[in-house]
């Protein structure tokens, strides 16, 4: 870390005064846990005796929950179905005092559920119940109208795109225009299929595979491949910055005419699920508190190191961030 610890504490202490809007694909992560003691006589698969089931916000919902855990005031814009799963998700957000006014109920689709069957800490199978068709024009127009009302009052915007129909080209374009008009930082957790549409954003945060896929590359070049990839994205999308996450290798921040590699913080890795959600939450929240890009990225890297040491789609708190700063 280039700054002293008290500098980062000042940023973290501003989190609770900051308003962030999350726009994206809402879903529920369902965890079904149990034990395996035999193989099924019907097929060569394990029989899991279920001991516990629990649902948590997933996708854009996990980004929202990360921001809430960090103390931010959060508004969420997304789509759910008219079903018990969607109602439970709304109830959970309301319990956490997350704004749900801008969440739309679509009678033509069900709330997305990703179910993971886990036996003895090992994921046996995952099955997804989802409708990833594009939103109707009526819903798109309704959402765009809502965004025009709310963006001016936010301190930062996150686009959490999982390719499930919420982030259409029309919604993407109007959201970026509104954010730029009101001079609000807007960061994108991208989907490969939409990659070239994320133009003029503050920061895009792909992992290596997303960055390669988005630029139609199969692999990194042998010499300086990551650097040329990041610079190409920066130029192609005309964005202010690119933050490529690299798992245990850390992350690299690209800005005009410069790049900075931020090594991962060494610790045992338990589960990388949702680490990207934590990165974009801390990055955007720090930028909304007027932190310079590089310092926002360093805090995001630190937060990612905390959540990968937890099981499941985890979050991080301001106190955990401050404790981690002591170890640097």
Ordered domains of the chain (ranges, CATH): 5-28+57-112+131-326 (3.40.1190.20)
pLDDT of 312 reads 62
Report d(CA 111, CA 89) in Å as an integer. 9
Beta strands in the chain (DSSP E): 19-24, 26-39, 46-59, 73-77, 79-81, 104-106, 112-119, 122-129, 156-160, 186-189, 203-204, 241-245, 251-255, 258-262
pLDDT of 283 reads 98
pLDDT of 267 reads 61
pLDDT of 327 reads 73
pLDDT in tens, the chain (328 residues): 456 899 999 999 999 999 999 999 999 999 999 999 899 999 999 999 999 999 999 999 999 999 999 999 999 999 999 999 999 999 999 999 999 999 999 999 999 999 999 998 888 999 999 988 989 999 999 999 999 999 999 999 999 999 999 999 999 999 999 999 999 999 999 999 999 999 999 999 999 999 999 999 888 876 678 999 999 999 999 999 999 998 888 899 999 999 999 998 756 554 556 688 999 999 999 999 999 999 999 999 999 888 876 666 678 999 999 998 987 6
CB 242 within 8 A of CB 234: yes
pLDDT of 227 reads 93
pLDDT of 315 reads 85
pLDDT of 41 reads 94
pLDDT of 37 reads 87
pLDDT of 72 reads 98
Choose the catalytic residue: 29, 129, 277, 319: 277
DSSP 204-266: E--BHHHHHHHTT-SS--TTTHHHHHHHHHHHHHT-SEEEEE-GGG-EEEEETTEEEEEPPPP
pLDDT of 305 reads 86
Annotated catalytic residue 277: yes
Q: What is the pTM of this model?
A: 0.92
pLDDT of 188 reads 97
- Could you read off the pLDDT of 187-223 as tens digits, one per residue? 999 999 999 999 999 999 999 999 999 999 888 876 6
Report d(CA 186, CA 169) in Å as an integer. 16
The closest of 111, 110, 93 to 102, measured between CA atoms, is: 93
């Amino acid at each position: 870390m280039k700054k002293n610890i008290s500098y980062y504490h000042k940023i973290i202490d501003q989190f609770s005064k900051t308003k962030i809007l999350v726009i994206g694909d809402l879903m529920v992560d369902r965890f079904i846990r149990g034990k395996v003691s035999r193989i099924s006589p019907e097929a060569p698969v394990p029989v899991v005796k279920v001991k516990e089931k629990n649902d948590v916000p997933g996708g854009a919902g996990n980004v929202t929950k990360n921001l809430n855990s960090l103390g931010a005031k959060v508004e969420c814009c997304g789509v759910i179905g008219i079903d018990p799963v969607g109602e439970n998700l709304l109830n959970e957000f309301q319990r956490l005092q997350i704004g749900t006014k801008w969440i739309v109920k679509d009678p033509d689709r069900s709330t997305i559920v990703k179910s993971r069957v886990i036996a003895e800490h090992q994921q046996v199978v995952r099955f997804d119940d989802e409708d990833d068709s594009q939103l109707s024009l009526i819903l798109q127009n309704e959402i765009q109208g809502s965004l025009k009302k709310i963006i001016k009052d936010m301190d930062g915007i996150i686009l959490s795109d999982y390719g499930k129909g919420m982030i259409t080209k029309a919604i993407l374009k109007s959201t970026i225009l509104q954010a730029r008009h009101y001079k609000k930082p807007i960061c994108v957790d991208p989907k490969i299929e939409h990659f070239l549409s994320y133009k003029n954003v503050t920061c895009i945060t792909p992992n290596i595979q997303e960055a390669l896929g988005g630029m139609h590359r199969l692999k990194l070049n042998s010499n300086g491949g990551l650097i040329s990839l990041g610079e190409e994205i920066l130029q192609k999308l005309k964005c202010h910055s690119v933050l490529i996450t690299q798992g245990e290798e850390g992350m690299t921040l690209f800005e005009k005419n410069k790049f900075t590699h931020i090594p991962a913080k060494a610790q045992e890795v338990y589960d990388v699920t949702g680490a990207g959600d934590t990165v974009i939450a801390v990055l955007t929240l720090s930028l909304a508190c007027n932190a310079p890009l590089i310092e926002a990225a360093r805090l995001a890297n630190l937060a990612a190191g905390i959540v990968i040491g937890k099981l499941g789609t985890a979050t991080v708190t301001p106190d955990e961030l401050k404790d981690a700063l002591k170890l640097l």
